[in-house]
Amino acid sequence: METGRVVATFGKHCLVQAEIGLIDCVGRGRKTDIACGDRVELKLTSPGNGVVEQVQPRRNLLYRSDPFKTKNFAANLDQVLVVTAAEPGLNEDLLNRCLVAARAADIPACIVLNKADLAQTAELHAYLKAYEAIAYPVILVSAKHDVAPLLPLLAGKTSVLIGPSGVGKSTLVNALVPEADVRTAEISRALNAGRHTTTHTRLYELPQGGALIDSPGMQEFGLHHLGPDDLQAAFPEFKPFLGRCRFYNCRHLKEPDCAIAAATADGSVLPARLKAYRTLLAERQAADLKRHR
Ligand SMILES: Nc1nc2c(ncn2[C@@H]2O[C@H](COP(=O)(O)OP(=O)(O)OP(=O)(O)O)[C@@H](O)[C@H]2O)c(=O)[nH]1
Ligand SMILES: [Mg+2]
Ligand SMILES: [Zn+2]
């Protein structure tokens, strides 16, 4: 029996970095619930091939979910780096889904604002100060020119890069891991949309110690596994106002004398955050209704 760390997942297969080398593995049984970053025990079936016999208990797991299935990003993480950029532009709904997923999994998160070399970045940087005020540090970098601000943050830690297509996650990996040689592509201007160049999650060892995980850009990010209490708790800035609504069981939707709504009106809570909370709660409630019908 060998042990190792999962460094890539694709379909039913995963690549495991074991002491004897890289092993192409399949999971045992029907359910292949293996995530990048998992520590596993495997049995060799032929040189270079094996079967994962067991996944060791995880410290944490970052994942998203729709009503029917869950999709793993990565496991055993020290931090989540949510990447954004002025080109293709801030997707604030997605940003918040990423931050909520990380908070719910109890993993610290930061925002990486990439493409510092673009003129439009300054305005976005100023806007993101509101997120810094909540609890999410913003690190301004240019994958093409200077990634030094990320180095102290990454050293010795396991980090995952998540975010929509085209923000430069793989370009960041290429800048930070000299031998990564990740395939990147120009944004397809003709389609006015980012091309999904990364197709599977992959872990790279950092030269200065630690690991960096690249993930495919996502458009959808369901969080159906989070119930009303989980959701509320995943917005740390709500905390000072909880228990101050007129109704003890206020869900902060349309109830009168809602302390969260009041805090949003007076500028203490960012409107986009309350909106994200309400959207996520509505999605969950719609799914619950369907299930009970
Ligand atoms: N100007 C500028 N362009 C950048 C920078 N970083 C990345 N890009 C460009 O942004 C585009 C998308 O970069 P990728 O690294 O492929 O983006 P990604 O986030 O990995 O995208 P997916 O794999 O589809 O999720 C490419 O054309 C890169 O050259 C940067 O710092 N400045
Ligand atoms: Mg990529
Ligand atoms: Zn309320």
User: Is the distance from CB of 281 to CB of 253 less than 8 angstroms?
Assistant: yes
The pLDDT, as a whole number, for residue 67 is 83
Q: Which residues fall within 8 angstroms of residue 177, CB to CB, at 6 or more apart?
A: 204, 205, 206, 207, 212
Do 285 and 180 lie in one domain? The reply is no
* Other beta carbons within 10 Å of 33: 12
Residue 135 within a domain: yes
Arithmetic mean of pLDDT, 220-244: 96
The CATH number for 145's domain is 3.40.50.300
What is the Å distance from ligand 2's center to 22 Cα? Answer: 22
Last residue of a domain, one of 172, 187, 214: 214
Residue 242 within a domain: yes
Residue 251 within a domain: yes
Q: Bridge-partner residues for 146, per DSSP?
A: 142
* Domain extent at residue 67: 61-214
Do 21 and 111 lie in one domain? The reply is no
Do 147 and 96 lie in one domain? The reply is yes
Of 8 and 193, which is predicted with more confidence? 8
| Residue 217 Cβ contacting ligand 1 at under 6 Å | yes
Arithmetic mean of pLDDT, 204-210: 94
Residue 221 within a domain: no
- Alpha-carbon dihedral angle through residues 84, 86, 92, 95, given to the nearest 10 degrees: 0
Arithmetic mean of pLDDT, 233-256: 97
The CATH number for 20's domain is 2.40.50.140
Distance, in Å, from the CA atom of 81 to the CA atom of 96, rounded to the nearest integer, reads: 12
Pairing of strands 138-140, 109-114: parallel
Residue 81 within a domain: yes
Tens digit of each residue's pLDDT (9 = 90 or more) over 16-30: 999 999 999 998 865
Do 84 and 200 lie in one domain? The reply is yes
- Residues near ion ligand 3 (CB < 5 Å) are 245, 250, 252, 258, 260
Do 155 and 198 lie in one domain? The reply is yes
| Residue 185 Cβ contacting ligand 1 at under 6 Å | yes
The CATH number for 273's domain is 1.10.40.50
Arithmetic mean of pLDDT, 98-109: 98
| Residue 85 Cβ contacting ligand 1 at under 6 Å | no
The pLDDT, as a whole number, for residue 196 is 54
What is the Å distance from ligand 3's center to 251 Cα? Answer: 5
Fill in the amino acid letter for 74. Answer: A
Alpha-helix residue ranges (DSSP H) falling in the chain = 92-104, 121-127, 129-134, 151-154, 169-176, 228-233, 259-265, 271-292
pTM for the full model? 0.94
Residue 38 within a domain: yes
Do 51 and 66 lie in one domain? The reply is no
What is the Å distance from ligand 2's center to 183 Cα? Answer: 7
Do 103 and 242 lie in one domain? The reply is no
Tens digit of each residue's pLDDT (9 = 90 or more) over 163-198: 999 999 999 999 999 888 765 554 434 334 445 578
What is the Å distance from ligand 3's center to 87 Cα? Answer: 36
Residue 139 within a domain: yes
Do 70 and 199 lie in one domain? The reply is yes
Do 51 and 82 lie in one domain? The reply is no
Alpha carbon 88 to chain centroid, angstroms = 18
Total domains present in the chain: 3
Distance, in Å, from the CA atom of 172 to the CA atom of 250, rounded to the nearest integer, reads: 42
Of 79 and 180, which is predicted with more confidence? 79
Do 107 and 127 lie in one domain? The reply is yes
Does 36 score more than 70 pLDDT?
Answer: yes
Do 232 and 191 lie in one domain? The reply is no
Fill in the amino acid letter for 241. Answer: F
Arithmetic mean of pLDDT, 95-113: 98
Look at the alpha carbons of 133, 136, 137, 139 in this order and tell me if their dihedral is positive or negative. negative
| Ligand 1 atom nearest 173 alpha carbon | 15
| Residue 18 Cβ contacting ligand 1 at under 6 Å | no
Q: Whose CA is nearest to atom 32 of ligand 1?
A: 115
Do 96 and 171 lie in one domain? The reply is yes
Q: How far is the CA of 138 from the CAs of 97, 112, 134, 195, in angstroms? A: 16, 6, 11, 25
The pLDDT, as a whole number, for residue 199 is 82
Tell me the pLDDT band of 66, cut-offs 50, 70 and 90. Answer: confident
| Residue 215 Cβ contacting ligand 1 at under 6 Å | no
Percent of the chain with pLDDT over 90: 83
| Residue 118 Cβ contacting ligand 1 at under 6 Å | yes
| Residue 27 Cβ contacting ligand 1 at under 6 Å | no
The H or E element spanning position 245 is none
